[in-house]
C-alpha cells in the first residue's frame, strides 16, 4: 500500500505524533516491566558477566603427584602450588587423584616421576614431567598443559638448570599488550554486555509494544483516526530511544564505577555509536511486531533475531576471525558485530574515528533498510496489503 | 433532511483467504443518516466484517462501499476524518487514565485545545464519568469502559458512529445508559450503526439489518418484521417443576417453531399456519392453558433463522445417567464473605439450592457475583463463612467436594490447538477415567452432543456452538452433581443459546443442579431461583416472577426481568460502579 501524503492535515501531524509519544511515555512509566528491563536488567547482566563470566583461567584445580621426593622435586612442587594459575594439591601416587580427575573435581594431574632428579642432575636426558589432563574440557586441558610447561621452564631457569632445556631460544619474544595490558577479558566482555542490553531494550521492548496494541485491539481504534502509519512508528521509536540511551549511560556508569573499566574515548563518540545501534535494534523490534501482531511470537522472534546473534556473532565471546567463512559472512549483517568493536574501541582505545565512522555508517544503513521495510509492511488496514 | 444515504453498500463481497465460504456474499443495502441502524445475526454471520469494511479497515473483495460519498478503498483517510469507531474491545489504553485516553484521541482527531474543554465537559457529564477522570481505564468497570470507549469515538462528533457489539459482557443497567446516550446522539446528524447480539436492542433500532451466513435476511424497520409474527406467540403458565417437560414436548412437535422458558411460563412460537389449539394437548392427559402473547423481534429472528438451522433434540435426555444428590441441599452458602484488602467484594451471602434446580447469580459488573461464584466452586477461599456442595464442605474436603462439581468457564478454556478427541481424552484423564470406562464415557458424550463429525477437528476451529458443546461435555465427564456455569453464553447468538439451554434443561431433569451467572435476562428466565447481588450483598432473591412482582407499579404494569433488575438495583442506592470488577 502506498503511503499517501496529504497536505491539508500536515499541520496536525506533529500534534498527533506528540500525543502518541506522550501516551507511549505514560505507558513506559506505568509498566514496571519496561523499567525493569531498562534498569534492573543492565544491573543484573553486568553483575553476572562482570563477576561470573571470565575467559581467563586462574586457579585451575590440579593435583601434583610426587614420585620423587628429592629437594628439587619438592621445590618444583611448591612452584606449582604457588603460582596463581593453579590451585594445586600434593599427593604420592596417581591413584590418589585418579577418581578426582574422572569426576572432574580437578582439571589435571602433574606427575614428577621417580627419575626426575636423576635426569636433572645428569643433564644427559632432559628432565620430564608427565601431565594428565581432562580432555573432555579441551580449553582447560590446554591451559593445564601450557601453564604447566611454563611453570616448569621458569622453575628450571630460576634454579640454574638452563642447560637442562638444551635449547637456547634464537628469538626472544617479550609480549606487550596494548589497550588492555592485563589482558583482562572483563574489559572486552563488558562492552559486549552493554551491547546485549541495548539490543534487548531496543528489540524486545518495541517488539512487545506494537504487538500489544494489536492484541488489545487498540490498533483497530487508532487506525480509524486520521493518524498516519509513520506517525505511529515514530511515536514508538522516540520514547524507547530515550529509554535505551538512558539505560546505556547507566550501564556505562556501572562498568566504570563498579568494575573500574577504563574509558578512554569521549561521551560524544559513545552516544553517536550507541544511537546508531539503538536505532537498528528499535527498527528490528518494530518490524518483528508489525509482522507478528502477537506478543508471544514477538518475544520469541526478538530473542532469536536480536539476543542470539548479539551474543554469539558479535565477536565479544567468539572471535569473528576464527569463525568459518560462512559465519563470518553472516556477521556482516549483524549490527552488533559493528557495535561491539566500536564500543571496545571507545572504552579501551579512545575516539578512533576511522574505526567508529564506517561502523556507524553501516549500522545506519541497516537501520534505514529495516525502517523502510517496516513502513511498507505496516498497512493502515487490518489485513496485509 | 439529507437525501443521500450515509453508507451505500452495493454488491459487496468479502472472501478471506482460507475461508470456505465468503464472509459477506454480494450485500447491497443503504444506511440512513440520523438514525440507529442495528446489525444483528448469529455468530460468524459477518457482522464484524461488515463493520470493518465500513470503517475502511478492510477492503471488499468485490463491490463498492462508500461513506458520505467517499470510497473505502480509495479514500479511507477521508472516512477516518468523519467516522467514529468503537471496536469490540473498546480500544482503550488500560494503563492510561480516563482523561489521558480522551486527550490522546482528541489529539489524534485534531480537536484543538480550545474546543476540547467544552467537548470533554459535555461528554463527561453525559456519561457521568466526571468523578473518574484520574482513574486508569483498566480499573474501570465494564460499563464504564464501554462509556469511555464511546466518548473516545465521539470527541469530534462523527457523522457516522460504528459500534461493534458495544454491550457484550455489560450489565443491564449500563446497557440501558449506553442506549440512552446513543439515542440522543442519533437525532443530531450522527448516523449510528450498532451491531448486537441482544435482540431486544435490535428491536429498538430505527432500522435493522439481519445477517446470516454473509447474506442479508432482512433489512428495514424491525417493527414490521415483528408484526409479521402476529398471532403465533403464546404463553403457557405452569408450576416450576413442569415447565421443562412442557418445553421438551413442545419442541418435539413439528408445528412449534421456538420455545423458551420465561420465569413461570413457557413461551411458544408456532410455525406459520399452525393451529394454536395444539398447545392444549401437548401433554397427554392434561389440558394446558395458552394465552396469546405479543410477538417479539426475537420470535421473528428465530423464525427466519430456523429455516436454516434445524432444531436438534438434546441427546442428553436419553443418555445421561440420573444423578442423585447425597444431601437435601445441592449447594449451600452460609455467610460467604470475601475481602480484598479493605474492599469487601462479597459480604455475608447466604442461600441454599435444592437438587435438580437452576440457580442464577445476577448483578451489575463488579457487584461481587464472580467472587461469590468462585468461592462456591472452590476457586477462591472465603474470608469468612462456608460453602458446601452436595453436603461436603469445600474447606474441609476440597478434593471430595470438587469431584461433585463440573465447571464451565466464561472463556473457551479448552486446548484450542488439540483436536476434539484429544481434548476429551485429556479431560477424561484429569478426572481419573481410564481404560474401557474412559472409552465408554467419551463415546457416550460424543453421541450425546453429536460431536462425531468434528472428532478430529482442531477445537479452536469449531463453530461456536460446537465449542460450547465440547466445553460442556468436558465439564460433565465425571458425572457432577452440581454444574457451575460462568456466563456460559456471553457473546453467543440466540440460536446457540437456545441449544445450550436445551441441554441444560435435559440435565436438570435428570437431577443435576446448575448454578449460573449471566448478563442475559433471557437466560435468567430459565432459572428456578435468582439471587441478585449488588455492592457485595444479596439484595433480592426469588423466582424470576417473584422478582418481577416486586417492582410491579403503575409506571411498569408488566415488568420484564430486566426492568426488575434495573429497578431493584436503583432502590438499593447509587452503584459502587467506581469499584473495578474483580473478574
**Residue B570 in contact with partner chain A when CB distance is under 8 A:** no
Residue where a domain terminates, one of A134, A165, A196: A165
**CB-based contact B85 A220, cutoff 8 Å:** yes
Q: How many CB atoms lie within 10 A of CB B549?
A: 12
Interchain contact, B91 vs A221, CB within 8 Å: yes
- Side-by-side strand order, sheet with B392-393: B343-353, B331-340, B384-389, B392-393
Residue A153 lies in a domain: yes
| B6 touches B67 (CB < 8 A) | yes
Decide if B87 touches A, using CB distance below 8 A.
yes
Q: How confident is the model at residue A171 (pLDDT cuts 50, 70, 90)?
A: low
Are A195 and A253 part of one and the same domain? yes
**Residue A21's pLDDT is what?**
92
Q: Which of B226, B248, B276 is the last residue of a domain?
A: B226
Q: Is residue A258 part of a domain?
A: yes
Longest dimension (CA), chain A: 100
* B349: β partners: B336
Distance separating alpha carbons of residues B321 and B342, to the nearest angstrom: 46
Stretch A358-365: mean pLDDT, rounded?
94
Do residue A66 and residue A191 come from a single domain?
no
**CB within 8 Å: A218 and B91:** yes
pLDDT at B573: 66
CA-nearest residue to B52 within chain A is A382
Q: Is B109 on the interface with A (CB under 8 A)?
A: yes
Q: How far apart are CA B471 and CA B413, in angstroms?
A: 7
| Parent domain of A90 | 60-165
Residues A210 and A342 in one domain: yes
Structural domain contains residue B424: yes
How distant is the Cα of B308 from the closest Cα of chain A, in angstroms?
31
Domain for residue A1, yes or no? no
Residue B331 included in any domain: no
Residues B445 and B559 placed together within one structural domain of the fold: no
Mean pLDDT of A156-169: 64
Q: What's the rounded Cα separation, in Å, for the pair A118 and B290?
A: 123
pLDDT of A10: 47
* Domain end point (choices B201, B226, B251): B226
Which chain B residues contact residue A379 at CB under 8 A? none
Choose the closest CB to B80 out of A18, A225, A382: A225
Pure H helices in B485-552: 494-509, 521-524, 544-551
CA–CA separation, B406 vs B396, rounded Å? 19
Query: Dihedral through CA B113, CA B117, CA B120, CA B121, nearest 10?
Result: 180
Selecting from A6, A19, A380 the residue whose C-beta is nearest the C-beta of B108 gives A19
Out of A222, A226, A381, the one facing B58 most closely (by C-beta) is: A381
B93–A23 C-beta distance less than 8 A: yes
Domain count of chain A? 2
* Residues contacting residue A338 through CB under 8 Å, at least 6 positions apart: A277, A359, A360, A362, A363
Give me the phi and psi of B73, to 5 degrees please: -80, -45
Closest CA to B97 of A234, A209, A22, A35: A22
The nearest CA of chain B is from the CA of A296 a distance in Å of 16
CATH number of the structural domain spanning residue B222: 3.40.50.300
**Same domain flag for B533 and B564:** yes
- B/e letters for A65-96, b = 16+ CB within 10 Å, e = fewer, are bbebebebbeebbebbeebebbebeebeeeee
Chain A residue numbers touching B110 (CB-CB < 8 A): 9, 12, 15-16, 226
Is there a single domain that holds both residue A107 and residue A45?
no
Question: Is A178 contained in some domain?
Answer: no
Among candidate residues A165, A194, A219, the one where a domain is terminated: A165
Q: Are residues A149 and A91 in the same domain?
A: yes
**Chain-chain contact of A26 with B90 (C-beta, under 8 angstroms):** no
Do A22 and B104 count as a contact with CB atoms less than 8 A apart? yes
3-state per-residue secondary structure call for A55-80: CCCCCEEEEEEECCCCHHHHHHHHHH
Using the Cβ of B105 and the Cβ atoms of chain A, whether some distance falls under 8 Å is answered with yes
pLDDT mean for each 10 residues of chain B (583 residues): 75 81 87 89 83 89 89 86 84 89 89 84 82 85 83 86 84 84 81 87 90 87 87 80 79 81 84 78 75 86 70 62 75 89 86 90 83 86 89 85 85 82 90 87 85 85 81 87 86 79 86 89 88 89 89 85 87 55 39
B233 in the same domain as B213: no
Note whether B186 and B156 are within 8 A (CB): no
Residue keyed to cell 428495514: B220
Do both B295 and B341 map to the same domain?
no
> pLDDT tens digits, residue range A6-29?
334 445 888 889 999 999 999 888
A175 assigned to some structural domain: no
Distance from CA of A141 to the nearest CA of B (A): 49
Nearest CB among A4, A222, A382 relative to B77 is that of A4
- At residue B362, φ and ψ (nearest 5 deg) are -120, 160
Give the CATH number of the domain where residue B286 resides.
3.30.70.100
**A26 and B152: CB-CB below 8 Å?**
no
Chain A positions with Cβ closer than 8 Å to B: 4, 6, 9, 12, 15-16, 18-20, 22-23, 26-27, 30-31, 216-218, 220-227, 380-383
HSE-up of residue B402 (Cα within 13 Å, Cβ side): 13
Predicted confidence at residue A7, as pLDDT, reads 39
Indicate whether B76 and B199 sit together in one domain.
yes
* Inter-chain residue contact B89 with A217, CB threshold 8 Å: yes
Beta-bridge mates of residue B344: B339
Question: pTM value?
Answer: 0.76
Residue B316, domain member (yes or no): no
DSSP state of B266: E
Query: Which pLDDT belongs to residue B316?
Result: 67
Mean pLDDT for the stretch of residues A293-302: 87
Q: Are B49 and B59 in contact (CB under 8 A)?
A: no
**Partner-chain residue, chosen from B85, B96, B153, that has the shortest CB–CB distance to A23:** B96
Sheet holding B290-292, edge to edge: B256-262, B265-270, B233-237, B290-292
Nearest to A221 among B56, B87, B96 (CB): B87
- Tens of pLDDT, residues B79-128: 888 888 888 877 888 889 999 999 999 888 888 888 888 888 888 887 77
Q: Pick the closest to residue B431 from B466, B476, B470 (CA basis).
A: B476
State the smallest CA–CA distance between residue B531 and chain A in angstroms. 33
The predicted pLDDT at position A3 comes to 39
Q: What are A154's three cell numbers?
A: 621458569
Which residues, 6+ apart, have CB-to-CB distance to B7 below 8 Å? B30, B31, B54, B65, B66, B67, B160, B191, B193
Could you identify the residue written with the cell 442495528? B38
Residues A219 and A363 in one domain: yes
ipTM of the complex, rounded to two decimals? 0.72
Residue A7 counted as domain residue: no
CB nearest to B57's CB, from A15, A27, A381: A381
Q: What is the rounded distance in angstroms from the CA atom of residue A308 to the CA atom of residue B274? A: 73
Flag whether pLDDT at A66 surpasses 80. yes
**Contact residues on chain B for A222, CB-CB shorter than 8 A:** 91, 108
By Cβ distance, the residue of B58, B87, B108 closest to A226 is B108
* Residue A214 sits in the same domain as residue A308: yes
Residue A367 has pLDDT above 90, yes or no: yes
CA–CA dist B494, A108 (Å, integer): 78
Q: DSSP for A262-298?
A: ---S-HHHHHHHHHHHHHHHHHHHHHHHHHH-SHHHH
Residue contact B110–A226, C-beta within 8 A: yes
Q: Which of B198, B221, B171 has its CA nearest to residue B522?
A: B198
Shared domain check, A129 and A48: no
One domain, residues B427 and B536: no
Nearest CA in chain B to A383: B58
Select from B206, B226, B246 the last residue of a domain: B226
Strands (E) in A196-351, as ranges, are: none
- Residues with Cβ within 8 Å of B438's Cβ and at least 6 positions away in sequence, in order, are B425, B428, B429
Q: Is B76 contained in some domain?
A: yes
The answer to whether A19 contacts B86, with C-beta atoms less than 8 Å apart, is no
Regarding whether B69 and B205 lie in a shared domain, the answer is yes
Examine the domain organization and report whether A77 and A42 are in the same domain: no
Task: Mark yes or no for CB contact B58/A382 under 8 Å.
Answer: yes
Highest mean pLDDT among A52-56, A85-89, B276-280: A85-89
- Residues in B closer than 8 angstroms to A381, CB to CB, are 56-59, 76
| B residues 7-66 lying closer than 8 A (beta carbon) to A | 52, 55-59
Shared domain check, B499 and B398: yes
Phi, psi of A329, rounded to the nearest 5 degrees: -65, -40
Is residue A5 predicted with pLDDT exceeding 50? no
Answer yes or no: do B89 and A380 touch at CB < 8 A: no
In a domain, A256, yes or no: yes
In a domain? residue A85: yes
* Cα–Cα distance measured from residue B3 to residue B549, given in angstroms and rounded to the nearest whole number: 47
CATH of the domain at A122: 3.40.1710.10
Here the cell at position A198 is 541495548
B156: nearest CA partner in chain A: A225
B91 touches A at CB < 8 Å: yes
- Phi/psi at B212 (5° precision): -150, 130
Residue B577: the pLDDT is 44
Query: Total domain count for chain B?
Result: 4
A210 and A130 fall within a common domain: no
Coil vs helix vs strand at B26: strand
Q: Are residues B57 and A4, on separate chains, in Cβ contact within 8 Å?
A: no
Residue contact B96–A16, C-beta within 8 A: no
Size of interface A-B (CB pairs under 8 A): 90
Q: Which domain holds residue B67?
A: 7-226
Q: Which residues of A touch B95 (CB under 8 A)?
A: 26-27, 30-31
**Is there a domain that residue B329 lies in?**
no
Identify whether residues A42 and A100 lie together within a single domain.
no
Q: How many CB atoms lie within 10 A of CB B254?
A: 9
Residues B351 and B423 in one domain: no
Nearest residue to B351 via CA among B549, B484, B529, B524: B529
Residue of chain A minimizing CA distance to B155: A225
DSSP letters along B197-227, please?
Answer: S-HHHHHHSSEEEEEETTEEEEEE-HHHHHH
Query: Which residue, chain included where needed, has cell 396469546?
Result: B292
B353 located within any domain = yes
The stretch A315-324 carries a mean pLDDT of 79
Q: Are B103 and A9 inside 8 Å of each other by CB? A: no
Note whether A221 contacts B100, CB cutoff 8 Å: no
Look at residue B166 and give its three-state secondary structure. Answer: coil
Gap from A178 CA to chain B (nearest CA, Å): 52
- Residues A196, A322 within the same domain: yes
Q: What is the DSSP string of B403-472?
A: TTEEEE-SS--S-TTSBHHHHHHHHHHHTT--HHHHHHHHHHHHHHTT-GGGTTSBGGGS-HHHHHHHHH
What is residue A22's predicted lDDT score, i.e. its pLDDT? 92
Task: Give the whole-angstrom CA distance, residue B14 versus residue B7.
Answer: 17
**B179 and B211 together in one domain:** yes
Q: Are residues B133 and B72 in the same domain?
A: yes
Nearest CA in chain B to A15: B107
Confidence at residue A165, expressed as pLDDT on a 0 to 100 scale: 54
Judge if B253 and B400 occupy the same domain: no
- pLDDT for A331 beyond 70: yes
Going by pLDDT thresholds of 50, 70 and 90, the confidence category of residue A185 is low
In this structure, what are the phi and psi dihedrals at residue B483, rounded to the nearest 5 degrees?
Answer: -115, 120
Give the three cell numbers for residue B113.
Answer: 485545545
Across the interface, do B95 and A382 touch by the CB < 8 Å criterion? no
A353-359 contact pairs (CB < 8 A, 24+): A353/A269, A356/A269, A356/A272, A356/A273, A359/A273, A359/A276
Amino acid at each position: 500500500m502506498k503511503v499517501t501524503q496529504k497536505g491539508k492535515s500536515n499541520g496536525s501531524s506533529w500534534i498527533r505524533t506528540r500525543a502518541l509519544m506522550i501516551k507511549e511515555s505514560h505507558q513506559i512509566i506505568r509498566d514496571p516491566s519496561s523499567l525493569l528491563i531498562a534498569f534492573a536488567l543492565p544491573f543484573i547482566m553486568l553483575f553476572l558477566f562482570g563477576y561470573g563470566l571470565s575467559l581467563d583461567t586462574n586457579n585451575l584445580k590440579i593435583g601434583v603427584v610426587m614420585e620423587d621426593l628429592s629437594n628439587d622435586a619438592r621445590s618444583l612442587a611448591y612452584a606449582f602450588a604457588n603460582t596463581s594459575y593453579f590451585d594445586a594439591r600434593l599427593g604420592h601416587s596417581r591413584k590418589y587423584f585418579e577418581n578426582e580427575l574422572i569426576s572432574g573435581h580437578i582439571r589435571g594431574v602433574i606427575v614428577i616421576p621417580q627419575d626426575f632428579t636423576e635426569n636433572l642432575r645428569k643433564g644427559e636426558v632432559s628432565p620430564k614431567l608427565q601431565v594428565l589432563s581432562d580432555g573432555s574440557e579441551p580449553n582447560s586441558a590446554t591451559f593445564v598443559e601450557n601453564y604447566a610447561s611454563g611453570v616448569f621452564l621458569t622453575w628450571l631457569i630460576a634454579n640454574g638448570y638452563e642447560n637442562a632445556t638444551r635449547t637456547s631460544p634464537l628469538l626472544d619474544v617479550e609480549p606487550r599488550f596494548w589497550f588492555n595490558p592485563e589482558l583482562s577479558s572483563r574489559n572486552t566482555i563488558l562492552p559486549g554486555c552493554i551491547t546485549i542490553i541495548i539490543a534487548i531494550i531496543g528489540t524486545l521492548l518495541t517488539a512487545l509494544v506494537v504487538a500489544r496494541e494489536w492484541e488489545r485491539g487498540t490498533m483497530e481504534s487508532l487506525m480509524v483516526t486520521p493518524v498516519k502509519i509513520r506517525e505511529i512508528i515514530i511515536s514508538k521509536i522516540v520514547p524507547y530511544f530515550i529509554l535505551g540511551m538512558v539505560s546505556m549511560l547507566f550501564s556505562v556508569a556501572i562498568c566504570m564505577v563498579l568494575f573500574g573499566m577504563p574509558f578512554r574515548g569521549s561521551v560524544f563518540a559513545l552516544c553517536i555509536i550507541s544511537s546508531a545501534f539503538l536505532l537498528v535494534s528499535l527498527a528490528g523490534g518494530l518490524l518483528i511486531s508489525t509482522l507478528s501482531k502477537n506478543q508471544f511470537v514477538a518475544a520469541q522472534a526478538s530473542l532469536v533475531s536480536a539476543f542470539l546473534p548479539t551474543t554469539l556473532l558479535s565477536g565479544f565471546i567468539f572471535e569473528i576471525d576464527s569463525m568459518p567463512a560462512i559465519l563470518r559472512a553472516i556477521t556482516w549483517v549483524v549490527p552488533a558485530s559493528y557495535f561491539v568493536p566500536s564500543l571496545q574501541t571507545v572504552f579501551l582505545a579512545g575516539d578512533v574515528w576511522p574505526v567508529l565512522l564506517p561502523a556507524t555508517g553501516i549500522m545506519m544503513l541497516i537501520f534505514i533498510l529495516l525502517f523502510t521495510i517496516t513502513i511498507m509492511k505496516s498497512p493502515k488496514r487490518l489485513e496485509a496489503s | 433532511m439529507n437525501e443521500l444515504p450515509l453508507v451505500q453498500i452495493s454488491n459487496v463481497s468479502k472472501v478471506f483467504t482460507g475461508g470456505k465460504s465468503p464472509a459477506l456474499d454480494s450485500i447491497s443495502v443503504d444506511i440512513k443518516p440520523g438514525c440507529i441502524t442495528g446489525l444483528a445475526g448469529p455468530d460468524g454471520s459477518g457482522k464484524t466484517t461488515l463493520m470493518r469494511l465500513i470503517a475502511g479497515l478492510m477492503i471488499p473483495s468485490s463491490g463498492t462501499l462508500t461513506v458520505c460519498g467517499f470510497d473505502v478503498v480509495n479514500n479511507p483517510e477521508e472516512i477516518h476524518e468523519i467516522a467514529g469507531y468503537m471496536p469490540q474491545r473498546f480500544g482503550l489504553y488500560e494503563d492510561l487514565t480516563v482523561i489521558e485516553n480522551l486527550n490522546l484521541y482528541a489529539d489524534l482527531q485534531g480537536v484543538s485545545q480550545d474546543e476540547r474543554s467544552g467537548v470533554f465537559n459535555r461528554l463527561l457529564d453525559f456519561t457521568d464519568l466526571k468523578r473518574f477522570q484520574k482513574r486508569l481505564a483498566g480499573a474501570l468497570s465494564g460499563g464504564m469502559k464501554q462509556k469511555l470507549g464511546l466518548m473516545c469515538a465521539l470527541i469530534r462528533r462523527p457523522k457516522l458512529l460504528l459500534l461493534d457489539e458495544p454491550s457484550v459482557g455489560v450489565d443491564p443497567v449500563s446497557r440501558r445508559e449506553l442506549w440512552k446516550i446513543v439515542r440522543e446522539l442519533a437525532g443530531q446528524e450522527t448516523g449510528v450503526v450498532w451491531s448486537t447480539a441482544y435482540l431486544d436492542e435490535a428491536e429498538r433500532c430505527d432500522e435493522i439489518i439481519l445477517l446470516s451466513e454473509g447474506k442479508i435476511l432482512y433489512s428495514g424497520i424491525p417493527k414490521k418484521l415483528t408484526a409479521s409474527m402476529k398471532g403465533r406467540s403464546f404463553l403457557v403458565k405452569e408450576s416450576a417443576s413442569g415447565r421443562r417437560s412442557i418445553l421438551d414436548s413442545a419442541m418435539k412437535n413439528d408445528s412449534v417453531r421456538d420455545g423458551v422458558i420465561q420465569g413461570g411460563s413457557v413461551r411458544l412460537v408456532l410455525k406459520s399456519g399452525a393451529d394454536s389449539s395444539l398447545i392444549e394437548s401437548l401433554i397427554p392427559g392434561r389440558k394446558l392453558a395458552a394465552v396469546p402473547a405479543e410477538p417479539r423481534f426475537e420470535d421473528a429472528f428465530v423464525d427466519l433463522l430456523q429455516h436454516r438451522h434445524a432444531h436438534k433434540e438434546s441427546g442428553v435426555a436419553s443418555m445421561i445417567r440420573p444423578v442423585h444428590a447425597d444431601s437435601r441441599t445441592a449447594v449451600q452458602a452460609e455467610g460467604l464473605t470475601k475481602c480484598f484488602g479493605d474492599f469487601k467484594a462479597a459480604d455475608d451471602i447466604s442461600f441454599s439450592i435444592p437438587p435438580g434446580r437452576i440457580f442464577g447469580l445476577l448483578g451489575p459488573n463488579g457487584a461481587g457475583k464472580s467472587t461469590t461464584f468462585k468461592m462456591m466452586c472452590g476457586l477462591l477461599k472465603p474470608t469468612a463463612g462456608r460453602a458446601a456442595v452436595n453436603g461436603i464442605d469445600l474447606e474441609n474436603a476440597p478434593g471430595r467436594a470438587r469431584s461433585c462439581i463440573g465447571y464451565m468457564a466464561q472463556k473457551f478454556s479448552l486446548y484450542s490447538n488439540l483436536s476434539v478427541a484429544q481434548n476429551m481424552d485429556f479431560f477424561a484423564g484429569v478426572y481419573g477415567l481410564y481404560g474401557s470406562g474412559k472409552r465408554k464415557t467419551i463415546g457416550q458424550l460424543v453421541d450425546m452432543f453429536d460431536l462425531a463429525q468434528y472428532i478430529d477437528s482442531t477445537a479452536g476451529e469449531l463453530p461456536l456452538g460446537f465449542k460450547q458443546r465440547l466445553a460442556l461435555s468436558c465439564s460433565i465427564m465425571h458425572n457432577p452433581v452440581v454444574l457451575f456455569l460462568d456466563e456460559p453464553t456471553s457473546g453467543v447468538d440466540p440460536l446457540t443459546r437456545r441449544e445450550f439451554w436445551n441441554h441444560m434443561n435435559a440435565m436438570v431433569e435428570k437431577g443435576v443442579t446448575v448454578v449460573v451467572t449471566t448478563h442475559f435476562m433471557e437466560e435468567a428466565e430459565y432459572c428456578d431461583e435468582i439471587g441478585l447481588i449488588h455492592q457485595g450483598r444479596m439484595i433480592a432473591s426469588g423466582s424470576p416472577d417473584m422478582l418481577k412482582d416486586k417492582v410491579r407499579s403503575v409506571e411498569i404494569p408488566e415488568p420484564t426481568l430486566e426492568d426488575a433488575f434495573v429497578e431493584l438495583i436503583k432502590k438499593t442506592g447509587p452503584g459502587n460502579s467506581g469499584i473495578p470488577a474483580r473478574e
